Structure formats: C-alpha cells, structure tokens
Amino acid sequence: MKIVSMRRTIWLGGGLLLAAAAAPPLRRWYLTWGATDDEVGRALPGDDLLPDADMLSTRAITIGAPPERVWPWLVQMGSGRGGAYTYDWIENLFGLGMHSADRILPEFQKLDVGDVLPMGTGGPGMRVEVCDPGRTLVFRSEDGQWVWAFSLAAHGEGTRLISRNRIAETGASLGRRLADRLIMEPGSLVMERKMLRGIRSRAESTPA
C-alpha cells in the first residue's frame, strides 16, 4: 500500500509540475527571460527566415562591456569551436561535442554568410544567414526548422544581448508537441540562461 501511495504521489506531483509549466504566465516568463516587452515584440533580422514558427523564445541580458568585446565570444561559438558556454555535460549527452572556451580563440574569429557549423555528428548543420560584426549574427539549420538570432545593441557603456529562437515542428506528432511544450521549452531556459550568463562573465573579464 505504501508503494502504491508513493507512486500516486509521484504521478500527482509530476502532473502538477507539468500543469504549472503550461500555465500562460509561467510559460511567458521562461520564454522571455530577461527581455523587455519592447525586445519581445521587436522585429529582428532572421524573423523572416521562419515567420510561422511553432516555438518562439526571446531572451536577453545586460552585459557590462561594449558590443565589440561581446562579439568575439559569439562568433566563435559552436561544436568543435568555442562551445556554447552552458552545461557542456548536458550538451554532450546528445553528442554535440561542446567544450566551452574561457578565452578568445583567434582561429574561430571569422564567419561569413554561407558558412555551415556542425552540430555534433548527426544533426543538421547551422548555416550563417546574417553576419554583421558587432550587431547581428543569425543561423538557420540546414533542414530549415530552426533559426537562432543574436542581436547586440549598445546600452550605456555596455550591451544588451538578445537571443531569439524560432523553431518549426513540421510533421511532429501531438505527443512530441506536448513534450516540447512541457519539457523542452522550460528546459531550454536552463541552458540558455547559463549561456547568456557565461557570455556576460567572459565579455566582462575581457581586457578593454
């Protein structure tokens, strides 16, 4: 009886957590962490590449360093490059080969539109669609279902860094869509918040 009661408690607790994750106020918080209403509603380069996204997040952070000191950390990101400045061990569970750098890597400081960065060994690569040094960096997955845009803007003596993800779920089952809504969306905040804070700490420690 105790085991049955424990199982019911676990299922009930899990159900309550999932219901909370789906609640509109909480969902808006984890999809727009750190961003102002203006930043959430603002059109950004790359929006036109996937206008009818099923999943959309806009997150942001203020960095106490000018855009030119933030840009080198962005442009070197990627699998087999500078990593993603997040939880490498989680990334590598999916075979992404991420190893976050703690220094600027000169060999990865040049990107051009059309360059394709690998995403581990099995996933579609990320193609550079917009590369405006110090301002905008936009990637689109080779299958066309993910657009990831970074926007930098001067903010006093620092920078506002906006990260926007647009994802399509073409052909996904109802179960897959539900799992993405209840698990992947809130889970993405954990990873992206760590990434944004990682970029901030690195940029702020970069010598002027």
Residues 126 and 99 in one domain: yes
pLDDT of residue 16: 45
Residues 21 and 103 in one domain: no
pLDDT digits (tens, 9 = 90+) for 77-121: 999 899 999 998 888 887 787 889 999 999 999 999 999 998 877
What are the DSSP calls for 136-176, one per residue? EEEEEETTSSEEEEEEEEEETTEEEEEEEEEE--TT--HHH
Total domains in the chain come to: 2
Residues 43 and 123 in one domain: yes
* DSSP class of 80: T
> Residue 81: which CATH number?
3.30.530.20
Bin 78: left if φ > 0, else alpha if -120 < ψ < 50, else beta.
Answer: left
Residues 74 and 139 in one domain: yes
Residues 82 and 165 in one domain: yes
Q: Are 54 and 177 a contacting pair, CB within 8 Å?
A: yes
* DSSP class of 83: B
pLDDT digits (tens, 9 = 90+) for 44-72: 999 999 999 999 999 999 999 999 999 99
pLDDT digits (tens, 9 = 90+) for 16-25: 455 555 567 8
How far is the C-alpha of 6 from the C-alpha of 101, rounded, in Å? 44
Residues 53 and 119 in one domain: yes
Residues 73 and 175 in one domain: yes
Residues 21 and 36 in one domain: no
* Domain carrying residue 2: 1-30
pLDDT of residue 13: 47
Residue 188 has, within 13 A of its CA and on its CB side, a CA count of: 24
More confident residue, 104 or 184: 104
Q: At what angle do helices 185-205 and 24-31 cross, to 10 degrees?
A: 30
Residues 98 and 129 in one domain: yes
How far is the C-alpha of 117 from the C-alpha of 127, rounded, in Å? 6
pLDDT of residue 14: 47
Residues 120 and 78 in one domain: yes
Residues 68 and 113 in one domain: yes
pLDDT digits (tens, 9 = 90+) for 127-170: 999 999 999 999 999 999 999 999 999 999 999 999 999 999 87
Residues 48 and 129 in one domain: yes
Residue 5 has pLDDT above 60, yes or no: no
Q: Among 15-19, 36-40, 59-63, 172-176, where is mean pLDDT lowest?
A: 15-19
Residue 30 has pLDDT above 70, yes or no: yes
Contacts of 176 (CB under 8 A, 6+ apart): 169
pLDDT of residue 176: 73
More confident residue, 184 or 42: 42
